[in-house]
């Protein structure tokens, strides 16, 4: 009798667990791509959310080198980066700050964003195509190109800097949700982010801020070379 009771109890527990899982899944509302497009194109002035298009361009194709292309980035990656601009409860700064220690221009934009806002935006952006990729600016400087390619493919062994390709891919397409695509990204933006990691202004560089450690071991000349090379990879 005890064995029968145990089996019934186990079965009941499994059913309850399954029901709870299904109920939890049902609570997650699918992202609203149309609403995401509206936020991207118009923002929500009543909440201080500016239109993303002003900086990141139509369809996520930025025409200004200090602002990154965002077209086609994976939903999960976009959401995580938006959250990184917000100041967590109980803390005084976000994981993404300016090199001078001040909040970035993104800080006031994301301050009032809800999780739903971020998911909707991410769903819209992830479906856009990068139609105006950036290119390497120093392609004619063979020594410069060689150094960038060397770091991308093999790293800097004597300084324990791993190959960029090991995470961002040989073709610069990245690893969805984890490491962003850098192919076609503005080289100026890539350089600025490497410098931000190096200076400790960005602390969201993977497990134990791996990118902060890596960038801190690189010279500014190395950062410039690999940033320019990454932008031109296809």
The answer to whether the annotation marks 52 as part of a ligand binding site is: yes
- Residue 93 and residue 228: Cα distance in Å, rounded? 30
The answer to whether the annotation marks 211 as part of a ligand binding site is: yes
The answer to whether the annotation marks 175 as part of a ligand binding site is: no
The answer to whether the annotation marks 167 as part of a ligand binding site is: yes
The answer to whether the annotation marks 55 as part of a ligand binding site is: yes
The answer to whether the annotation marks 118 as part of a ligand binding site is: no
3-state SS track over the chain: CHHHHHHHHHHHHHHHHHHHHHHHHHHCCCCCHHHHHHHHHHCEHHHCECCCHHHHCHHHCCCCCCCCCCCCCCHHHHHHHHHHHCCCCCCCCCCEECCCCCECCHHHHHCCCCHHHHHHHHHHHHCCCCCCCCCCCCCCCHHHHHHHHHHHHHCEHHHCECCCHHHHCCCCCCECCCECCCCCCCHHHHHHHHHHHHCCCECCCCHHHHHHHHHHCCCHHHHHHHHHHHHHCC
The answer to whether the annotation marks 218 as part of a ligand binding site is: no
The answer to whether the annotation marks 41 as part of a ligand binding site is: no
What are the tokens at 102?
């001040």
* Binding-site residue set: 52, 55-56, 106, 164, 167-168, 211
* Binding-site residue set for heme c: 52, 55-56, 106, 164, 167-168, 211
């Amino acid at each position: 009798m005890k064995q029968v009771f145990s089996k019934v109890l186990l079965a009941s527990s499994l059913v309850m667990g399954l029901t709870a899982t299904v109920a939890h899944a049902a609570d997650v509302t699918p992202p609203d791509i149309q609403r995401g497009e509206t936020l991207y194109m118009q923002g929500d002035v009543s909440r201080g959310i500016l239109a993303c298009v002003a900086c990141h361009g139509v369809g996520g194709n930025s025409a200004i080198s200090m602002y990154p292309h965002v077209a086609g980035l994976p939903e999960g990656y976009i959401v995580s980066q938006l959250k990184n601009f917000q100041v967590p409860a109980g803390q005084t700064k976000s994981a993404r700050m300016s090199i001078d220690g001040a909040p970035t221009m993104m800080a006031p934009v994301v301050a009032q964003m809800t999780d739903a806002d971020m998911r909707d935006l991410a769903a819209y952006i992830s479906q856009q195509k990068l139609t105006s990729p950036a290119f390497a600016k120093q392609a004619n400087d063979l020594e410069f190109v060689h150094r960038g390619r060397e770091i991308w493919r093999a790293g800097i062994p004597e300084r324990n800097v791993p190959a960029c390709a090991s995470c961002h891919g040989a073709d610069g397409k990245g690893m969805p949700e984890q490491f962003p695509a850098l192919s076609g990204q503005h080289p100026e933006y890539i350089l600025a982010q490497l410098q931000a990691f190096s200076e400790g202004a960005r602390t969201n560089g993977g497990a134990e801020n791996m990118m902060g450690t890596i960038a801190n071991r690189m010279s500014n000349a190395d950062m410039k070379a690999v940033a320019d090379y990454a932008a031109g990879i296809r």
